[in-house]
Amino acid sequence: MTVDVGTQLRKGVVESCVLALLEREPMYGWQLAETLTANGMIASIGTLYPMLSRLRAAGLVTTYNEASAAGPVRKYYELSAAGREQLEAFRAQWSTFVVTVDELVKRDDNHG
Amino acid sequence: MAEAIVTDYLLELSEALVDVPREVRSEIIAGVREELEGLDGDAAAARIRELGDPAFIAASAREDAPTAPPAPAPRARPLDIAAGILVMVGGIAIPVVGWIAGIAYMWFSPTWPVRQKVLVTVLPTVLAAVVALVATLISWFTVPSPVNPLIPAVYDITHAVVIVWFVLAVPTGIWLLATARVRR
């Protein structure tokens, strides 16, 4: 059985993408879900909420409630200081990681 | 009309998420409810379409969160009951050996926390040892007199130790039996 490569790849980075989105501004669940599904990072909110629970349990995000103009009180997720650190650590490694993987997986035109 | 479809959807979602860890489940449902609240019929229907099939949401949640197996019925295992009874009265039936067997059973069982196991093992033993020591000291430091009934003799010490041991073995055994059901 071939494991879906896309799914495997996303698993490793989607949490960092959430941290990066939250770095720009605090967001509520649906906002995150829309952005992430639009970018093909998650399949459904079924993936999003367990992830948010994990991030919160790890202290990387915090939540607060705020009433929206339209009515419902929304739970906003916000990046914590620890989350910011984690995101920076990810950023620091990501670019070299991409280059390394690129080097490793690129087709060798001389031999093949 | 909006309310009816929202309620239906939330119910369906709640059922689909039944085997997902409770915290994740309530988080998902709260998130969806928050999103659908206050929308009119068409908007709610559109949003529900976007959210997708509850079964699909549940499948991805299950994939992502460790699934909680259905809680086992709170029943004590036969071996745990045996351990509790042995700790309680095993020492009376077969002196010392019966109690030790109960303690051994208890240590092999995952049912009780280590702290409790240590207490059940140590309490009667330590207290019996203290009583033995005190009684021995009394008999040593009292001027020996062949017929003084106030000085504990060896068999008195043994008696005291055995009594103290059982006074503690019985309640600790009961404690094990009482907690065999709830600890899962």
The DSSP 8-state label assigned to residue A106 in this structure reads S
B52, B56, B61 member nearest A49 (Cβ): B61
In single-letter form, the type of residue at position B29 comes to I
- Cα–Cα distance, B84 to B77 (Å, whole number): 11
Give the pLDDT confidence of B7-48 residue by residue, as tens digits.
Answer: 999 999 999 999 888 888 888 898 888 888 878 888 889 988
Q: Which residue has the higher pLDDT, B24 or A55?
A: A55
The answer to the question of residue A31 being in a domain is yes
Q: Which two tokens stand for residue B162?
A: 């055995």
Which 45-64 residues of chain A touch chain B by CB within 8 A? 45-53
The answer to the question of residue B69 being in a domain is no
Judgement on whether residues B84 and B56 belong to the same structural domain of the protein: no
CB contact under 8 A, A75 and B28: no
- Please give the residue range of the domain that contains residue A85: 5-99
The whole-angstrom distance between residue B40's C-alpha and the CA centroid of its chain comes to 49
- Domain count along chain A: 1
> Shortest CA distance to A36 belongs to which of A53, A51, A48, A46?
A48
The CATH number covering residue A91 comes to 1.10.10.10
Per residue, the 3-state secondary structure of B100-164, as one string, reads HHHHHHHHHCCCCCHHHHHHHHHHHHHHHHHHHHHHHHHHHHCCCCCCCCCCCCHHHHHHHHHHH
Mean pLDDT, to the nearest integer, of B66-83? 67
pLDDT at B183: 46
- Domain count along chain B: 2
The answer to the question of residue A105 being in a domain is no
ipTM of the complex in this document: 0.77
Mean pLDDT, to the nearest integer, of B45-55? 89
pLDDT at A73: 83
Q: Which residue has the higher pLDDT, B107 or B67?
A: B107
- Please give the residue range of the domain that contains residue B103: 78-180
- Regarding pTM above 0.90, the answer is no
The answer to the question of residue A104 being in a domain is no
- Cα–Cα distance, B99 to B121 (Å, whole number): 10
